[in-house]
């Protein structure tokens, strides 16, 4: 990429920064109790703008050959806290909290590109099962220190991000993510911070696994 083109693209990204700053300033002065709906829209807008800026910067860095794509996406996966584990034939993937489906614009590459890279690196050192008839559990964890009004109906959780995440996981684990080969299951919990945990298992493992999850919840509620 020649320098004039590079500077033009960089300037285009820079123009987005004041818009993000304006949205953040609006969030500061918005009463979250009286104007919860407005605050929600502002926070979603801020998050989506930040993700758009991030994806644009990544694309620019790739095009300019400043840093290799695998290296940058590995760092992105680490920063986002993306992890993959395998135990007793069950795969667990930890991700940041997913966005609700109502979005003016969204770039799921912000999350799916680092996730794909995390899987590529994982399979180089660890074999993964291939599921032909499975259940994928989405556990949506909400920060308990924030308002419970943030908890979404499950129809709103079937967002573009959920679908793209499942598409990415399917590349490494599933025969297909259609209903013929894969069932999905959604749960909600409160925790220390927003997060999403995907658990992928054979359908025959699901009843026992679900019972274990309920027992863990019951034990935690006793304290």
Q: What is the pLDDT of residue 101?
A: 54
Q: Is there a single domain that holds both residue 21 and residue 103?
A: no
The residues near 50 (Cβ < 8 Å, ≥ 6 apart) are: 20
Q: Is there a single domain that holds both residue 184 and residue 151?
A: yes
Q: Is there a single domain that holds both residue 53 and residue 113?
A: no
Q: Phi, psi at residue 87, to the nearest 5°?
A: -150, 125
Q: What is the mean pLDDT of residues 179-207?
A: 92
Which of the listed residues 45, 66, 87 is the one where a domain comes to its end? 66
Q: Is there a single domain that holds both residue 103 and residue 121?
A: yes
pLDDT at 11 over 90: yes
Q: Is there a single domain that holds both residue 42 and residue 150?
A: no
Dig out the tokens for 47 from the structure.
């998050």
Q: Phi, psi at residue 189, to the nearest 5°?
A: -140, 165
Q: Is there a single domain that holds both residue 129 and residue 206?
A: yes
Q: For residue 123, give the CATH number of its domain.
A: 3.30.1330.70
Q: Is there a single domain that holds both residue 145 and residue 56?
A: no
Q: At what angle do helices 109-125 and 69-80 cross, to 10 degrees?
A: 100
pLDDT at 223 over 50: no
Q: Is there a single domain that holds both residue 59 and residue 79?
A: no
CB 104 within 8 A of CB 45: yes
* Domain residue limits at 39: 1-66
Q: What is the pLDDT of residue 161?
A: 77
Residues in a beta bridge with 91: 86, 200
104 pLDDT tier (thresholds 50, 70, 90): very low
DSSP structure class, residue 150: G
Q: What is the pLDDT of residue 218?
A: 58
pLDDT at 157 over 60: no
Which of the listed residues 66, 83, 110 is the one where a domain comes to its end? 66
Dig out the tokens for 103 from the structure.
């979005």
Q: In this predicted model, what pLDDT tens digit does every residue of 70-79 receive, in sequence order?
A: 899 999 999 9
Q: In this predicted model, what pLDDT tens digit does every residue of 29-38 receive, in sequence order?
A: 999 888 888 9
Q: What is the pLDDT of residue 84?
A: 97
Q: Is there a single domain that holds both residue 82 and residue 136?
A: yes
Is pTM beyond 0.75 here? Answer: yes
Give the total number of structural domains in the chain: 2
Which of the listed residues 42, 66, 90 is the one where a domain comes to its end? 66
The residues near 195 (Cβ < 8 Å, ≥ 6 apart) are: 81, 94, 95, 96, 97, 141
């Amino acid at each position: 990429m020649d320098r004039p083109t590079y500077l033009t693209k960089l300037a285009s990204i820079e123009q987005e920064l004041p818009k993000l700053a304006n949205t953040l300033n609006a969030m500061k002065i918005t009463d979250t109790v009286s104007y919860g709906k407005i605050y929600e829209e502002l926070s979603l807008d801020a998050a989506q703008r930040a993700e758009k800026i991030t994806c644009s910067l990544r694309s620019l860095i790739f095009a300019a050959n400043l840093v290799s794509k695998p290296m940058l996406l590995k760092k992105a996966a680490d920063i986002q806290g993306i992890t993959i584990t395998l135990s007793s034939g069950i795969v667990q993937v930890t991700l940041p909290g997913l966005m609700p489906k109502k979005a003016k614009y969204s770039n799921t590459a912000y999350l799916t590109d680092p996730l794909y890279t995390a899987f590529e690196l994982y399979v180089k050192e660890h074999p993964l099962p291939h599921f032909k008839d499975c259940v994928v559990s989405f556990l949506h964890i909400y920060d308990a220190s924030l308002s419970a009004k943030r908890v979404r109906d499950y129809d709103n959780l079937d967002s573009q991000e959920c679908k793209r995440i499942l598409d990415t996981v399917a590349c490494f684990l599933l025969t297909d993510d259609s209903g013929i080969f894969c069932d999905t299951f959604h749960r909600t919990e409160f925790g220390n911070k927003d997060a999403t945990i995907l658990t992928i298992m054979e359908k025959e493992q699901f009843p026992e696994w679900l019972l274990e999850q309920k027992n863990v919840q019951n034990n935690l509620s006793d304290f």
